[in-house]
Structure 1
Amino acid sequence: MTNHDEAAAVRPLTLAWVGRHLAAGERIVRTEVLHGGITAEMRRLTIGTRDGGTRGLVLRTFVNMEHAQDWLNREAGALTLLTGTGVPAPGLVAVDPIAAHCEYPSLLMTHLAGRTVLDDEGLETRVLLLARQLVAIHALRPDEMPPEYVAWTTADTVVVPKGADTAAWAAAIDVIRKPVPPYEGRLLHRDFQPGNVLFDVAHPRLAGARITGVVDWAQASWGPADLDVAHCSTNLALLHGPEWGPRFAEAYEEAGGVLAAAASERQYWRVRSGLAFSEEVQLVAQPWRESGRTELTTRAVEERLDAYVTALMDALA
């Protein structure tokens, strides 16, 4: 076995565990680190097959074990229920959520072709594809519901960016102090955004672009469709500019998705999502810079977040 770099090396117990889930005559011939994630170590494993070919697997390892069991159980459950649905998700190979066999909680899944695309060029085409894909996810009716969603922020934990419009932010915080609007539950990805969607490498920006995979189901949940839409909208607003948040919501409805009937309810979820990002701007911006968007410094993302939250509040006025 060869490593792409030292960090790609798979730990001994985990290596043995992976080996037990390979077919007879197969072996790991290469490992490499996959960048862009925040919560877990990700490695691509190239598997040599008996006929001389290769296939790919992905190993997710949670070194920080605080939420590992819950998140790995959620992901394993989601990948299982997505099998055969047409949603291009990885196939589950094995999971060790409590590190009974591995050094750390781990999940092994199939590798999907394609790559993430975070460029501005061709964005309108990708927004339409993202919206259609999310509508397809929300249309699923699983026999067993995943756990209820967990809110990612509270009125008391919001971090107002330096130099922000304090009046707008105070009003936004007041919005999420209100009771949660009623909603019809849907299967949520819960972190559906460009960093977790793979596109055909040959056509990432052209009319022929297509989605080849939706990954990172570790926080799959049951909750309002608005929450997934709001989360992706905020990501797009921070990646590409505040105007892209509302555009994604429009594209979702154009694709047949159904959001809350009342404008105030839709805005509740959008404001809640925007404020949640205030607590993790640095964590969000770092993988974007590592992926080539070097201009997205923490400060630049904070400024876009302020502009987006302010725009949301202006829309409520």
Structure 2
Amino acid sequence: MTDEPDRALRTASALMSRELSLVDIFTGGQHATTLLAHDGESEFVVRAFPADQDAAVREAEILSRISGLGVWVPQLVAVNSDLGEPVIVTSRVRGAAPDVALSPMAIAGEMAAALIRIHELDGTGLRPIPAEPPRGQSALALRAQREWDTLDIGDPVLTHGDFWCGNALWESHRLTGVVDWSGARSGPRGVDLAWCRQDLVLLGSPEAAGVFLDEYERLLGARVDDITAWDVQAAAQAHDRVETWLPNYLGIGRLEMTAELLRERLDGWNSTL
């Protein structure tokens, strides 16, 4: 075991006052080391964040707020509030990364239904998102900055903040849960909608991005009239760094992905905005 997983497991064992053993290391994300651990009876998920980040504490606060979603989201077990070694231990949500054979269209429908459930939750008191316009000097960033004051930020909901297929868990074609809640905020529903639409594009299906929005609006019973403006905000955030997301997609089994393919798909989508 490398130093980081070993350190996370030791911290988690101390938090729970019993020894945990490593079962697996999850590879679908970059901002936390995520482990599956076992105490001899039950399995737990251990997430360790970089030192001096408050993500573990923030995620613990969010999990207490969304606990009404039951087994569909992680349940808090323990958290280390020491920012020198931020670690959180939760229950394991059943499911796995989406099968590579699962079509983006099927992913789109399940993600839309999940997002409706999330957006029904109260985000009052959480930090707002977006907090500021995207930075940068690309044409997209400059457009996003110009359009910043035109965004409709009324009617805030609880937003996940990183709503893509790799933060959902699946059994066959069904979504069984949503994880990685450290970035949850209070903000417009367009934040999550645009982020998920962009993910479906990166999976290779702009058509699925349209299906996702249509299904969300059908379940919501209303149109999201400013979705293009939110798509621009998401595009501006992705423009300078989409290649760095390659490990995330490889980590959920999308081995066909390359940095060049991500760039090609993003640029093609952005040209339509």
Q: TM-score, normalised by structure 2?
A: 0.88
- 1:175–1:37 Cα change, 3 Å: closer
Which residue identity lines up with residue 136 of structure 2 in the other structure?
T
User: Which one of 109, 118, 121 corresponds to residue 140 of structure 1?
Assistant: 121
Alignment match of 1:117 (pick from 75, 85, 98): 98
Distance 1:255 1:151 in 2: 28
Question: Given the superposition, is the C-alpha separation of residues 257 and 141 from structure 1 closer, same or farther in structure 2, using an over 3 Å criterion?
Answer: farther
Structure 2 Cα separation of the partners of residues 44 and 117 of structure 1: 18
Q: Which residue of 2 aligns with 1:59?
A: 46
Q: Secondary structure at the match of 2:96?
A: coil
AA matched with 1:186:
V
Aligned-residue RMSD, C-alpha: 2.5
Is the CA contact (8 Å cut-off) linking 1:172 and 1:309 kept in structure 2?
Answer: no
Q: Which amino acid aligns with 1:307?
A: G
Contact 1:158/1:279, CA 8 A, preserved across alignment: no
Judged with a 3 Å threshold, the aligned counterparts in structure 2 of structure 1 residues 172 and 150 are, in CA distance, closer, same or farther, namely closer
Secondary structure of the 1:157 match is coil
- 1:174 aligns to what? 143
* Match status 1:80 vs 2:54: no
* Residue pairs, 1:1-317, within 5 angstroms: 5-6=1-2, 9-11=5-7, 15=10, 17-22=12-17, 27-48=19-40, 54-63=41-50, 65=52, 68-69=53-54, 71-86=55-70, 88-99=72-83, 104-117=85-98, 119=100, 121-141=102-122, 144-151=124-131, 154=134, 156-157=135-136, 170=139, 173-178=142-147, 179-182=149-152, 183-200=154-171, 204=172, 209-256=173-220, 258-260=222-224, 262=225, 265-312=226-273
Query: How big is each residue's C-alpha offset from its partner over 1:15-59, in whole Å with a ceiling of 9 and x where there is no partner?
Result: 25534425xxx54233431111111111111121xxxxx211111
CA contact (8 A) 2:160 2:181 kept: yes
Q: Check 1:141–1:59 CA distance in 2 against 1; reply closer, same or farther (3 A cut).
A: same
Letter in 2 for 1:33: I
% identity of equivalent residues: 27
1:180: how far off?
A: 4.1
Q: 1:293 to 1:80 in 2, by over 3 A?
A: same
Q: Counterparts of 1:258 and 1:75 in 2: how far apart (Å)?
A: 30
TM-score, length-normalised on structure 1? 0.77
Secondary structure, counterpart of 1:252 in structure 2: helix
Q: Deviations over 1:194-241 (max 9, x none)?
A: 0000011xxx2xxxx322221000100000001111100001101123
Offset of residue 148 of structure 1: 0.6
Structure 1 residue 244: Cα displacement: 2.5
| 1:258 to 1:226, Cα distance in 2 relative to 1, 3 A | farther
The letter of the residue matching 2:86 is P
| Partner amino acid, structure 2, of 1:58 | V
Unaligned runs of 5+ in 2: none
- State whether residues 188 and 223 of structure 1, in contact with CA within 8 Å, keep that contact through their aligned partners in structure 2: yes
Per-residue deviation, 1:298? 0.9
CA distance in 1, matches of 2:141, 2:212: 21
Q: How many residues align?
A: 271
1:20–1:291 distance in 2 versus 1, CA, 3 Å: closer
* 8 Å CA contact 2:160, 2:183 repeated in 1: yes
Aligned counterparts of 1:279 and 1:152: Cα–Cα separation in 2: 17
User: Within 2, Cα distance between the matches of 1:151 and 1:245?
Assistant: 25
- Equivalents in 2 of 1:242, 1:7: separation in Å? 41
The CA distance in 2 between the partners of 1:194 and 1:35, in whole Å, is 14
Does the residue aligned with 1:293 lie in a helix, a strand or coil?
coil
